[in-house]
Amino acid sequence: MALRISSWAIKRPLVPIVIFVGLVVTGLMSFSRLPINGMPNVNIPVVNVSVFLPGASPTEIESQITLRVETALAGIGNIKHITSNVTDSVSSTKIEFQLGTDINQALSKVRDQMIGIKPLLPRGSEEPMIQSIDADVVPILTYAVQAPQRSIEQSTLLVDTQISRALLAIKGVAKVQRQGGVGREIRIALDPVKLQSYGVTAAAINDQLLASVQNLPAGRIDSAGQETLIRTLGAPTDVVSLQHMNIALPGQRFVRLADLGDVIDTTASQRQIARLDGQPLVGFAVYRSKTASEVSVEKEVQAVLKEIQANQPDVSFTQAQTLVEFTQDTYHAALWSFIEGALLAAAVVFVFFRNWRATWITALGIPLSVIPTFLVMQWLGFSLNMVSLLALSLVSGVLVDDAIVEIENIMRHLRMGKTAYRAAMDAADEIGLAVVATTVVIVAVFVPVSFMGGVVGQYFIQFGLTVAVATVFSLFVARFITPVLAAYFLKPFDEAHAPSSWMSSYRRWLEQALAKPKTSLLIAIGIMVATVLIASRLPTDFMPFEDKSQSTLQVELPTGSRIEETDHVLGLMTAVLRKKPEVQSVYTVAGGADVDTNIDGEVRRASVLVRLKPKSERDVDVKTFEQSILQDFAAIPNARISVLNENGSKALTFSLASSKPDDLAQTAGALETQMRGLPVLKEVSSTIPLPHSEYVITPRSEDAARFSVNTEVIAEAGRVATMGDLNSNLAKISLDGRQIPLRVQLNAGAKEDGVMIGQMLVPNSEGVMLPISAVADINFSAGPSSILRYDRQRQITLEANLNHATLGEGLDAVEQLPALKNLPKTVKRFDTGDAELLGEMFDSFLMAMVFGAMVVLGVLVLLFRTVLQPITIMVALPLSIFGACLALWVFGESLSLPSVIGILMLSGIVGKNGILLVDCIIETIASGKSRHEAILEAAQQRAKPIVMTSMAMIAGMLPLVLGFGAVNAFREPMAVAVIGGLIASTALSLLFVPVVYVLIDDFEQSITPKLRGLLTLEK
């Protein structure tokens, strides 16, 4: 079958050359504009709904807010999961939609549903906060603001106003989250004894201030021929004026505010404390929007901070954490690996050709294929990330594949004494079908696979389409540019072409294999069985560990711990860490905050960011360092300290869910205990709700009815007195150009005495003041400190880090635990985190392999117009998987995402050996040779280009295996799998493909002509 497009290009050389010059120029422009990120963007549509009810316990919030929110949102279409996190005062519900859902439409539907249930939410709850989650889960940058001459309150103001506003103006910055710091407020600390004597409540005082302390417009009049505005000025201009403000009392009396308590210009209660190397300060984290470039965002953030620092010399910024540094290292390492691979591939070509002209013509195919690929990547919205760059690195050897086949065939014609022009014309079109077929097979595998669903599918998209696009361009180069350059630049030569020793040995082995085809087939079947056995023994993991020169620790103290206690524990940890020679800086944050809502979290929780020196400057890796410090931290009492991965969770996580809270807690407790006994796990923990002490006010219905006091009045009186009212209900006065809130509450001494709760006054319907104890019972009790929910059921998450084991080994061990094997019918288990992605990865991989094999078979049937012989070509696939699994086992690699992508890549590229052989056998038989002679002649003719292309691909990937540095962990498993698969498929397919061809041909000849016609397309 002749494809004469190369002849057309040789006759009109300027047309393809001009086209490719244009593609190279536009490709280079696109390359400079592509965003640089660590990983592909995984765009999961998520909407978060948060409702704040100050002072409410998790149990109350669940029943009064969370259940109503979940019920209202459950009817929205395309929802994948609904998860809720209920803590003191806060209900946070995340709605995860199916991939591909329009986030704007989803956000609109959520808002509509929340409008409908707003009247059902309890009085006192703040306006629901509804937002789509556009930012990454973890910040790409964290900075500490060092300003020794400023107070923490002044540094807080600097971050909240100047820094945050300047950074949020940067394109690509989704969120700036302050860490630590305190706000300014005027605290009105009331004396409970004076409140009782004057017969007034904290809530009543707050309401009076809210109504009176404000400046309002009062209309306008026309005076003396001009329009004049009228203003009502009720807000004091300073604290002293506020102290002298009169408060109305029952019986038309009044009293000065200062006579009821202290009026203090101070700071708000501190719920977070940030420190760098033990020094208190304010920090902030920068979150990138999912479509932005990490590197570009980091550069612009640095520029803005330098400008702020130039204007305010007393302020400096220290980078406490960064993901961008690793991203840049990965980017530069990938580019160097690509260049090294291209040079090695060119060197392999020269070793075989021994001809400089043929070498540079072949090697030119690499840049001519890659550079135009950047144009398509920009059009598709891709970025230069670890996956797409790895695709280009792996494909560097593949890109010369077609050119090698073209040039080798042209040189064979040159040895016949033809001119370069005639040799190019004859040879290029002669090999056309095989060249097109090898490329079409790769594209046929990767294009459909690229549209797989799920989170893992997001990785396949950029890898698969990048490989497919680059391969298509390599086909265009091989069919248009390579023959043109060969026709006009190669020189004719008369070189004796004696068969090499390895070729003679190969011919002998092939003749022996053909002489005993059934024995050869049994050997091939044995290799396939060995593949299954090796693969079943490979450890499994989702992602290989990367040393990013930083470590994240999670700290948890017992329930009821104060922020001062949490900060003290962090101080002990900092002292230990600062003694380690590997440590560069220690950044601690006492008191958690919800990443999505920025609402204060539990003060008993904390995080520690440890930045290590570069890997070249330390003797231990991050894992060894983490094991060492955890042993040192064991001496710190009442603190649970764990290592988190880059996603903010432990290595192994899964959850249990049930509508029966007691069954759930009992099962999770038993499972946690059994997990602690597994040697492959460490730092086992769970989210089983810990008991949180609380005072419970229970109104006595008879007394409450007799005195006309309702529950809502009691709750409001207690909340305002102990915490102050909602932020939206606080009066504010203007001081120093800012609106400062007035927080009314009991003084600190009264709030520490639980007896005072019963003495607090509440008004009845007639305005008569009564102590709470007159209408309600007050008891000390305990309730859950937090509640997690998953798809409208209670949820408990169990997590652990791995002790010298892979994720697959950890999951296998957990699966065998009695508590998990005998789950109650009321409890169900589901994977989360990397465990969920691991299962999704293997499901996607199996589907991709089966689908890819079917697509390849279909393409080969269409190209060769027969059903049976394409099966011969498919023999290379299981042979390559054998080599890949064996290589992974020998090098001690796990079956992880990069190695799975590598095996998937093999399914596209290893078919080329069979295509070249079978195509040549068919053409040789068509020329009149016997089958045996045709097989031997085709094998000898195609063995050299097959070995050359495989060697070039292997050489192109060697830098990925032999490269040094912390950024090699993701690339190495993929390269190992591909190299192992190429070696095995090349060596074995040269023997087994001809044997299978004979067996299939014999079968085809043995069936009836009518059946044979059904298996052959009309020619």
> What is the domain partition of the chain in residue ranges?
1-36+327-495, 39-135, 502-537+865-1019, 550-582+591-691+787-831
Closest CA to 550 of 608, 610, 607: 610
pTM of the model: 0.81
Question: For 752-763, what is each residue's pLDDT tens digit?
Answer: 666 777 788 888
Angle at 870 between CA 865 and CA 875, to 5 degrees: 175
Does position 680 have pLDDT exceeding 80, yes or no? yes
Q: What is the mean pLDDT of residues 860-866?
A: 76
Q: Which of 10-14, 299-303, 782-786 has the lowest mean pLDDT?
A: 782-786
**Inter-axis angle of helices 365-380 and 454-476, to 10 degrees?**
140
Percent of the chain scored above 90 by pLDDT?
17
Does position 553 have pLDDT exceeding 60, yes or no? yes
* pLDDT for the residue 870: 80
- Cα separation of 560 and 603, whole Å? 9
Q: What is the mean pLDDT of residues 977-1005?
A: 84
- Cα separation of 810 and 538, whole Å? 14
- Cα separation of 469 and 447, whole Å? 9
**Residue 989's pLDDT band (cuts 50, 70, 90):** confident
- Cα separation of 524 and 871, whole Å? 14
Q: What is the mean pLDDT of residues 110-122?
A: 89
One-letter amino acid for residue 985 of the chain: S
609 against 599, higher pLDDT:
609
1003 against 93, higher pLDDT:
93
Q: What is the mean pLDDT of residues 956-978?
A: 74
* pLDDT for the residue 2: 45
Does position 800 have pLDDT exceeding 50, yes or no? yes
- Cα separation of 1013 and 1007, whole Å? 10
Does position 765 have pLDDT exceeding 80, yes or no? no
* pLDDT for the residue 855: 77
Does position 234 have pLDDT exceeding 50, yes or no? yes
DSSP state of 895: B
431 against 421, higher pLDDT:
421
Question: For 523-540, what is each residue's pLDDT tens digit?
Answer: 888 888 888 888 888 888
Does position 595 have pLDDT exceeding 50, yes or no? no
Question: For 472-489, what is each residue's pLDDT tens digit?
Answer: 998 888 888 888 888 888
* pLDDT for the residue 751: 65
903 sits in the region (left: phi over 0; alpha: psi -120 to 50; else beta) called alpha
Does position 499 have pLDDT exceeding 70, yes or no? no
260 against 337, higher pLDDT:
260
Instruction: Reduce the DSSP state of residue 760 to 3 states and report it.
Output: coil
In CATH, the architecture of 502-537+865-1019 is: Up-down Bundle (1.20)
Does position 966 have pLDDT exceeding 60, yes or no? no
Q: What is the mean pLDDT of residues 801-827?
A: 88
Does position 596 have pLDDT exceeding 60, yes or no? no
Does position 1004 have pLDDT exceeding 60, yes or no? yes
Instruction: Reduce the DSSP state of residue 381 to 3 states and report it.
Output: coil
H helices within 199-281, ranges in order?
202-212, 239-243
Closest CA to 576 of 624, 638, 634: 634
Q: Give the H or E element holding residue 330.
A: helix 324-353
**Residue 144's pLDDT band (cuts 50, 70, 90):** very high
Helix, strand, coil share of the chain (percent; to 5): 55, 20, 25
- Tokens for 597, please give them: 């809502």
Question: For 703-736, what is each residue's pLDDT tens digit?
Answer: 888 888 888 888 888 888 777 777 777 888 888 8
* pLDDT for the residue 311: 92
Does position 212 have pLDDT exceeding 70, yes or no? yes
Task: Please check whether the domain covering 1-36+327-495 is classified as CATH 3.90.550.10.
Answer: no
Contact between residue 876 and residue 910 where contact means Cβ atoms under 8 Å apart: yes
- Cα separation of 115 and 441, whole Å? 53
Does position 562 have pLDDT exceeding 60, yes or no? yes
* pLDDT for the residue 94: 92
Q: Which of 91-95, 414-418, 602-606, 748-752 has the lowest mean pLDDT?
A: 748-752
Closest CA to 805 of 652, 978, 955, 680: 680
- 292 to each of 36, 149, 173, 295, 460, how far by Cα in Å? 9, 36, 8, 9, 20
**Residue 566's pLDDT band (cuts 50, 70, 90):** very high
Q: What is the mean pLDDT of residues 442-465?
A: 75
- Backbone dihedral angles phi then psi of residue 646, each to the nearest 5 degrees: -70, -15
Does position 325 have pLDDT exceeding 60, yes or no? yes
* pLDDT for the residue 378: 92
- Surface-to-core class of residue 169, CB atoms within 10 Å of its CB (0-12 exposed, 13-18 middle, 19+ buried): exposed
212 against 225, higher pLDDT:
212
* pLDDT for the residue 65: 92
CATH topology for 550-582+591-691+787-831 is Alpha-Beta Plaits (3.30.70)
CATH code, 39-135: 3.30.70.1430
- Cα separation of 88 and 602, whole Å? 8
- Tokens for 298, please give them: 């980091």
**From start to end of 191-307, where are the E strands?**
215-223, 226-233, 246-249, 253-256, 261-267, 273-276, 279-288
Does position 1 have pLDDT exceeding 50, yes or no? no
Does position 316 have pLDDT exceeding 70, yes or no? yes
Same CATH fold, 550-582+591-691+787-831 and 39-135?
Answer: yes
As a whole number, the mean pLDDT across the chain is 84
- Cα separation of 373 and 371, whole Å? 5
Question: For 288-301, what is each residue's pLDDT tens digit?
Answer: 887 888 999 999 99
**Residue 377's pLDDT band (cuts 50, 70, 90):** very high
863 against 652, higher pLDDT:
652
* pLDDT for the residue 1015: 60
Contact between residue 292 and residue 171 where contact means Cβ atoms under 8 Å apart: yes
217 against 300, higher pLDDT:
300
* pLDDT for the residue 10: 87
Question: For 160-191, what is each residue's pLDDT tens digit?
Answer: 889 999 999 999 898 899 999 888 888 888 88
